[in-house]
Structure 1
Amino acid sequence: MAPDAARRSDRSRRAILAAALELVETVGYAKLTIEAVAARAGVGKQTIYRWWPSKGPLLFDAFVELSAVGRAVRPWGDLGDDLKAELRDAIGELVERRFDQVCRVLVHEARTDLVTLLLTPRRVVMEQRLATAQRAGEIRGDVDVPAAVELLLGPVYHRWLLRTGPLTGTFSDTVVDLTLRALRG
């Protein structure tokens, strides 16, 4: 029986994505080459070029596909604690060497859709959590939930992008505390 080409292709594709992330963390974006990714993934570079025209789109796909892997959905508890945990997780992603280097390059290359795609799952969780809190009376009924999520995420990504200060759990906890004061008002 002949090997299943679709299964082999998926296995190769995932190996390429994983290799790209491993290498960008090791050597950085500037020194990352398609040849090195191909060697690490055990494929020919023509296989990579069949799916991606360059390292930018390759890393874009790697982040989008593999960043959500292993992301646990935690049970909700105290509203403040839940929001603090989400922002701390966001900071954890932002300060990862592979994320930081590549995202900065891609943002400067006008690939802001990468940041948007990475933020979407976190936004959804935070919107769900705030909507639940609103129904339970933990925050005011007139709060615009999507705008409230922007109040929470905006300072974190602003600080990351402009490097205006350290990204720490203390910073994100302060953002949550200040935002909740306004939402509970």
Structure 2
Amino acid sequence: MALREAVLFDPFPMLSEQRDDGGSALPNTGDLEADLKTVPRVTVEKLNDPRYDEPMRALNAEITHDPPLAALYAERLDGPMRELKKQRLRGAQRAGQVAEDLGLDVAVDMPWGHLLNRWLQRSGALTSDYADSIVETALNGLRSSR
């Protein structure tokens, strides 16, 4: 890894949400909704923290304009975290909590993609309540219960 990448990635230990015990980034308590709300809430806290906000915005800007850096970000940070999130969702599939044919990549993108979009565009308050509402909408769907 080049010095530039080290300088860009090393200040962001919060991007690695894996627990010290090697467990999943998403807990598996049996309550899927509560488990899925855990990491987006932490993400909101980190993105609202002034110590991370500007450096994270700078990293995102660099990734946008530098394909090799984007690939390294995907390899070192985003890819491993996506896999941990998909592991939790696979467990939910095995438990019958979500559809067997659930598109895991889309399911992972739903909460974190919306959070990142709102944060990057500064298009509204980034709160735990907002994060929770994304998860609730994803789980409950957009259809009327009638």
Structure 2-normalised TM-score?
0.73
Aligned to 2:8: 60
* Alpha-carbon separation, structure 1, partners of 2:137 and 2:18: 30
After TM superposition, give the deviation of residue 96 of structure 1 in Å.
Answer: 2.4
| One-letter identity of the residue aligned with 1:140 | A
Give yes or no for the alignment of 1:90 onto 2:4. no
Q: Deviation per CA, 1:151-185, whole angstroms, max 9, x where unpaired?
A: 121101101110111111100000000001139x9
Residue 182 of structure 1: which of 123, 141, 145 is its match?
141
After TM superposition, give the deviation of residue 140 of structure 1 in Å.
Answer: 1.2
Total equivalences in the alignment: 130
Structure 1-normalised TM-score?
0.59
* Alpha-carbon separation, structure 1, partners of 2:46 and 2:79: 14
Shift of the 146–69 alpha-carbon distance from structure 1 to 2, 3 Å rule, reads closer
Aligned to 2:104: 145
RMSD: 2.8
Shift of the 146–70 alpha-carbon distance from structure 1 to 2, 3 Å rule, reads closer
Task: Flag structure 2 segments of 5+ consecutive residues without an equivalent.
Answer: none
* Alpha-carbon separation, structure 2, partners of 1:140 and 1:61: 36
| One-letter identity of the residue aligned with 1:80 | E
* Alpha-carbon separation, structure 2, partners of 1:136 and 1:151: 21
Aligned to 2:116: 157
Task: Flag structure 1 segments of 5+ consecutive residues without an equivalent.
Answer: 1-50
Structure of higher CA gyration radius: 1
| One-letter identity of the residue aligned with 2:92 | A
Aligned to 2:33: 80
